[in-house]
Chains A and B, each alone.
Chain A
């Protein structure tokens, strides 16, 4: 069964995947500064998976990798929520803000765009982005495989 599209479509898809993934990662990493965040950036990155599946029609069997990535993201989100509880505050308390570590910088007044701020919020954006990329890619992969439009390479 030939489910590959033409060479023009495949080449353009290969080129367009790069800016789509870069824009999605930008949305995830700047989630605490600009519009966007974990879910939006993850959905943008997962749309590049849709582009690749539709254009090439073949993909490696990475179902368990995607499933493990999704589980890791959710577990890390729960552990980051527990950090506030362990430090002596409530659940989801932003206990890393202003401590000087990673993402712990301080600003006075309105944040003019320093990315090294926010405490646990950027870390939660990153793990939610990881989870959303894996989950939506897994949904697309399963739907494409069951509808016969995807050849699974061993």
Chain B
């Protein structure tokens, strides 16, 4: 049970730090990769909360498909954040 709480705290730290990294990065491709990492940690938390159905959907859609679509969209626009 102690291991479960330690894992919960680690997942919380990982979620908050990856979500802060999405805002902090000025390079948008790095931000998209950080969003994928955040989504993967969220899928692990869904699995630990005994919702494996949601975890599979989150891992497939959030980590793979959304990251690919974001990267394709960034490639056709500017790579860095902000106006020039």
Contact = CB atoms under 8 A, between A and B. Distances in A.
Interface of A: 27, 35-37, 39-40, 43-44, 46-47, 50-51, 53-54, 136, 139-140, 143-144, 146-149
A146 B76 contact: yes
Nearest to A36: B56
B52 A35 contact: yes
Looking at B56, B60, B69, the one whose CB has the most chain A CB atoms below 10 A away is B60
Contacts of B72: 140, 143-144, 146-147, 149
Nearest 9 pairs between A and B by C-beta?
A: A47-B64, A43-B60, A147-B76, A35-B52, A50-B68, A143-B72, A40-B56, A147-B72, A147-B75
Contacts of A47: 60, 64-65, 68
Interface string B32-62: 0000000000000000000011001100110
Contacts of B60: 40, 43-44, 46-47
Nearest to B51: A35
A44 B56 CA distance: 8
B28 to A, nearest CB: 13
